Structure 1
């Protein structure tokens, strides 16, 4: 009889015609799970009625144009009370299905290569990772943001349950922690591709890698434990509800069950690649493998397979062939191997392997603690006593095979190098891209590789190898800074006077006399080619007076505007008084129209010039004045249109200044985000709103000044007001927990009041 804590086969589920690449437990029906395969389908499996063991296919989903590589379940909502199923494929798409029809409810397009990992979060958020080196955040059929920073394929993603944190693992050997679209931390330690991630809690997670290790991390950056037992690539992880025990699968043909930090049980499968696993609601384990079968394992005796089926599984396992190059058998010298009597001695750990000589064959056995016996796991081929295949040199490198491929009849043939350590599908994809061939040939080329390398298995890569694809602003007189908000302490938070704020907030205060005095002082020491004549200085002074005095009789002239634009390109160490004039001038309708859009190229040139002054290494005074100028551009319809068109570049550059320790820069940055939020209020552009939320959230991590915090809170409130989708996205980014600390701020009272109102919107 099996020991009470050991897992045994419960059932084998046929149905897929090719590798099973992804598994996920479903919310509905009870006990169901979903699988996806290289056969281009996804399938929903429901448990048979007791006492029958096994599962029955309830639903088959089609829609991908090529193999399906990953799956996740989107939690039930009011709209979809049974949840949704998301699948990612080699066709670069994500298909989202209901349980009511075989075709997708909708398809998410945006990745430029295979979507190989998916994770769902609260409020319908979906996170995807791709061979195109990016991860993307999706909500309600739209891409909200793209996470860029990895230098190779993103093999694994997960959304942590709290704090709006997301993780991505990559073939570049790193794991990145993301918050509101920005990389907060990079975890290093793995020595090869990171292939899987699994959540332990809101503060901990597991990772697995081609380097044969599993690591446990704190989100603060520390690796707290490393687990070794696998002898080849590890592809997937799944954590039991207790948050401590877990299971893993990999290229060494095994499912391994880890309890109390140790590998307690090793289950070998008669398939080379055990691609995926998931924990079912009843605690059973489902695994998918390269032979197209799904196998379910249980530790509950009533759900274990019949003795006949258990024996059939063991017989199938004993008939497999094992190549020592898979890494766990070592170099074999038949003359040194013991005979069958070696199996009379018990093993000392579950999964221990012994080789014996049986006639002219080498057999491999594995110790089963559950059964207290040695189980045959296959016949060994390819030992050192057998002929070793010779390497083939191609383009200066050695390969196990170099195939000649003829795609087009009569056309030139092409060479396809291949090592047994490579994934045939990735190799095929790389070959097609290199030779600019249609992806429609992927299956044909991959199957050709598989057929012509039978008997050769994927071995542990040398240490240097990798997968083929691893390859308050001072002086502001805006109403938001004072006036109506100055006596906020006496009001009740039930009256929202703060947001949505849709009119632009500008930086108005100026002392024209001081500005011109500074300009003349710096002009006196300017390099000869930049020195201004008294006539030019006089023109700039007239322009400054005309834009600062609303009662001025003279209007800015075309010549004055042209001089201002030219002078704004002074050397960076002396240009700031000119930027102050520019900041004030763009509020004037005539200047706003001329510089921001009289000619489309003029507007882009202004924007690019200001962005160049905002580089992180630029002078703080220039950074601040460039930000203020952008804020003031919102005072005219031309400027507003320009900045909405250039939104992605402007907010991205502004976000780079979050970490600058400068109060005035932070206030200007917060004001810019607020002006964007106001311009987007009531608009359907969710991607733009997502960027506003992302930058505001990132800024709140660094900003200390209460005026800047207040403006960011107003920006958040304006973005989410009366917009359920934006509210859901803000909650998924962790904004609620991020701003909660401001609810008790009473100096100034407007910060605490506004924060409470934002949180009320996000309830």
Structure 2
């Protein structure tokens, strides 16, 4: 099969009634591809057996209520041996189809704006990007996690073939690398929206942008090459397959080929060239920039051969401007259209649009908004207000505001009377803009209050639930026999009974409470009766079995709640009493109930904020862990799971140095995993996997590592979907380093058992 090393038209495929917005190769049958369109349909096309080199429609899919923006295929599985097709639309939904029926098998809902990009990975994992600034990870019919961090629309996503890594490119000009739901790296370099991503290997990928460049990146973060050649927006990029299909705004799909024996007939080629020659190109939105007719050469310029394939030349023919492109294979200049609406035409006189005169009438293509739209503008207007009105009129996302405003400024050649608003001024009202978080309200860590001989140190002493070398789960001696490793009995997980922090020295806690109360300011000083009440409560809740403890009064519980709001620099002994008290049935019922529970949770999350005091963070974590000891507490923490684990993820990302804090964080994850075991809540399990994976990147304390491994094993045990997700996230490669840990032996043993789950 001869090849000319250049692409020629193979065929044009009618069928869609509106713009074709995306195409991708199908997995079945061989040689087929899928297209999606603004006509709200997706279609599968198969190559004809006849010698016309064309394609026929095999399957039509419908289910979206608005334009279809993107498409990808999902790899075959035992359930769907021919794979699945996923489409994203302007209705904010993702529809998943088989080849057996025109209606979707299921619809994925969760994005709050247009779904504009899709990518699939192993085990049926699907990654989506949206104008709502997020990307989402889906497995089967569930959203497993939401990737948050971009400040503009997510135009491009891609899943790397190995390592569980995912990429997202955004209108905020950055690319982000994600692992297990957290951002591992941010790539900066593009000067405008990132519109497309293409994975070259596990270690490299390409990106393209509105800045007219293509960049080649190493996953480690370095940009190793920048490619220039385009003169305007680059909407997409792909690694070349054996043939290419493109969709156009005329509703046609065109297939191009290198093979001479598959090219279209001479009649069809000539018809295609004639159609190209009739195209009109607006230099404001095309690739040609601003032009001046008087500076252009005449037709004699076409007697000189081009220097490269695809080179563009403009020539004047009387009052017209024509665009030509050099074809190396044919050794001639091919007309690609007439240039209209040059800047010299627009600035020389007013332009009438909808009955009014304007200095400029631009043609705007926002890619996802359908056909080109007209944007009228007078130089006396505020470009931001004009952009805002344009977006409102055409029902377009406000995330395009800066892009359209800067387009106006750039293309009016500085003829802007109204200056662009300052960064801190609202562009619509001119008044000062409220910037959340602008004030520096952070409090410093200050001196560590837990150093010095004889001082009360929360969390000091042996790990909870164990003394010396005792196993924290069995109470017996540490399991350390190498000969007994990997026996048929798994003694580590699933662990469904929660771990609590029970140890305490009541004498030291009360001594520190009285010391701090003596030095407290008058408005915060507790009465003697108040302190005595707390001391009495501590005596009841410390040690022994909480269920067998004497009853508490409601006034005692209310005083404890009030005292827990002491100033953060002195509240830690009260928090220590609180973490012991929530194990008591009455306290758990009261403080974790429907009325008080949300307030308790919010209070503890506030103490756990990343820049909070480490002692308060640790004690708040321990309190949450102990809440799992009661029915009300478990119900509360399951209801607030997303917020609690989200805050835990923030703490994990901060690489906490405090070993007791690390253990408390790991225990919280373990208790959640145990509570979720056996439940069908895949989204919750996905968050557990993500946060536990993030914590394993930062913790060093071996007891914390062990508890995180038990949490992972408990999440994966007896749940095939959770195992598939963990595989797609590259969990095995992340934890394999712990399989050789021999001291303590339980770390290596538990790790190997988790790896067995992932095989």
Q: Same fold (TM over 0.5)?
A: yes
Q: Contact 1:232–1:459 (CA<8 Å) still a contact in 2?
A: no
Matches within 5 A, 1:529-678: 529-550=523-544, 554-597=550-593, 600-658=594-652, 659=654, 660-678=656-674
Equivalent position to 1:723, from 687, 701, 719? 719
The match for 1:16 is 16
Q: CA deviation at 1:184?
A: 2.1
Q: CA deviation at 1:341?
A: 3.0
Equivalent position SS for 2:235: strand
Matches within 5 A, 1:19-418: 19-49=19-49, 51-240=51-240, 279=241, 283-383=242-342, 386=345
Equivalent position SS for 2:596: helix
Q: CA deviation at 1:484?
A: 4.2
Q: Contact 1:321–1:379 (CA<8 Å) still a contact in 2?
A: yes
Q: CA deviation at 1:418?
A: 7.6
Change (3 A) 1:368 1:106: same
* Count of residue pairs brought into register by the alignment: 678
| CA–CA distance in structure 1, aligned partners of residues 549 and 205 of structure 2 | 67
Equivalent position SS for 1:237: coil
348-357 or 643-652: bigger deviation:
348-357
| CA–CA distance in structure 1, aligned partners of residues 361 and 474 of structure 2 | 69
| CA–CA distance in structure 1, aligned partners of residues 238 and 370 of structure 2 | 28
Q: Contact 1:233–1:460 (CA<8 Å) still a contact in 2?
A: no
The match for 2:753 is 757
Q: CA deviation at 1:19?
A: 0.9
Change (3 A) 1:20 1:327: closer
| CA–CA distance in structure 2, aligned partners of residues 365 and 553 of structure 1 | 90
Per-residue CA deviations over 1:264-291 (Å, capped at 9, x if unaligned) read xxxxxxxxxxxxxxx3xxx111111212
Per-residue CA deviations over 1:670-721 (Å, capped at 9, x if unaligned) read 1001100000000011111111111101111111111111111110110110
Equivalent position SS for 1:225: strand
Per-residue CA deviations over 1:598-633 (Å, capped at 9, x if unaligned) read xx1211111111111101111100100000010011
421-430 or 46-55: bigger deviation:
421-430
Q: CA deviation at 1:343?
A: 2.0
| CA–CA distance in structure 2, aligned partners of residues 459 and 47 of structure 1 | 45
Q: Contact 1:173–1:188 (CA<8 Å) still a contact in 2?
A: yes
Q: Which runs of 5+ in 2 are unaligned?
A: 375-390, 397-403, 412-427, 429-458
Q: Contact 2:365–2:373 (CA<8 Å) still a contact in 1?
A: no
Q: CA deviation at 1:634?
A: 0.7
Change (3 A) 1:368 1:419: same
| CA–CA distance in structure 2, aligned partners of residues 429 and 651 of structure 1 | 45
Change (3 A) 1:15 1:364: same
Q: Contact 2:502–2:543 (CA<8 Å) still a contact in 1?
A: no
Change (3 A) 1:45 1:460: farther
| CA–CA distance in structure 2, aligned partners of residues 97 and 346 of structure 1 | 49
Q: TM-score, normalised by structure 2?
A: 0.84
Change (3 A) 1:520 1:17: same
Q: TM-score, normalised by structure 1?
A: 0.83
Matches within 5 A, 1:691-730: 691-730=687-726
Equivalent position to 1:507, from 497, 501, 506? 501
Q: CA deviation at 1:534?
A: 3.2
Per-residue CA deviations over 1:650-671 (Å, capped at 9, x if unaligned) read 1111111112222211110010
Change (3 A) 1:553 1:628: closer
Equivalent position SS for 2:21: strand
Change (3 A) 1:51 1:209: same
The match for 1:451 is none
Q: CA deviation at 1:749?
A: 0.9
Change (3 A) 1:676 1:425: closer
| CA–CA distance in structure 1, aligned partners of residues 346 and 543 of structure 2 | 93
| CA–CA distance in structure 2, aligned partners of residues 613 and 754 of structure 1 | 32
Q: CA deviation at 1:327?
A: 4.9
| CA–CA distance in structure 2, aligned partners of residues 645 and 384 of structure 1 | 59
Q: CA deviation at 1:589?
A: 1.5
Q: Contact 2:480–2:746 (CA<8 Å) still a contact in 1?
A: yes
| CA–CA distance in structure 1, aligned partners of residues 179 and 138 of structure 2 | 15
Equivalent position to 1:475, from 460, 463, 479? 463
Equivalent position SS for 2:198: strand
Change (3 A) 1:534 1:341: closer
The match for 1:244 is none
| CA–CA distance in structure 1, aligned partners of residues 239 and 677 of structure 2 | 42
Change (3 A) 1:537 1:424: closer
Q: Contact 2:38–2:370 (CA<8 Å) still a contact in 1?
A: no
Q: Contact 1:3–1:370 (CA<8 Å) still a contact in 2?
A: no
Equivalent position SS for 1:316: helix
Change (3 A) 1:509 1:429: farther
344-353 or 675-684: bigger deviation:
344-353
| CA–CA distance in structure 2, aligned partners of residues 330 and 758 of structure 1 | 59
Q: Which runs of 5+ in 1 are unaligned?
A: 241-278, 393-399, 405-414, 432-441, 448-457, 466-470
Equivalent position SS for 2:5: coil
Q: Contact 2:11–2:256 (CA<8 Å) still a contact in 1?
A: yes
| CA–CA distance in structure 1, aligned partners of residues 344 and 510 of structure 2 | 90
- RMSD value, Cα: 3.0
Q: Contact 1:401–1:419 (CA<8 Å) still a contact in 2?
A: no
| CA–CA distance in structure 1, aligned partners of residues 372 and 704 of structure 2 | 49
Change (3 A) 1:553 1:637: closer
| CA–CA distance in structure 1, aligned partners of residues 283 and 647 of structure 2 | 53
Instruction: Check if 1:747 corresponds to 2:743.
Output: yes
The match for 1:250 is none
Equivalent position to 1:489, from 456, 481, 488? 481
| CA–CA distance in structure 2, aligned partners of residues 54 and 343 of structure 1 | 34
750-759 or 375-384: bigger deviation:
375-384
123-132 or 49-58: bigger deviation:
49-58
Q: Contact 1:481–1:707 (CA<8 Å) still a contact in 2?
A: no
Instruction: Check if 1:421 corresponds to 2:357.
Output: no
| CA–CA distance in structure 1, aligned partners of residues 291 and 40 of structure 2 | 40
Per-residue CA deviations over 1:368-399 (Å, capped at 9, x if unaligned) read 1222221122223334665658678xxxxxxx
Q: CA deviation at 1:535?
A: 2.9
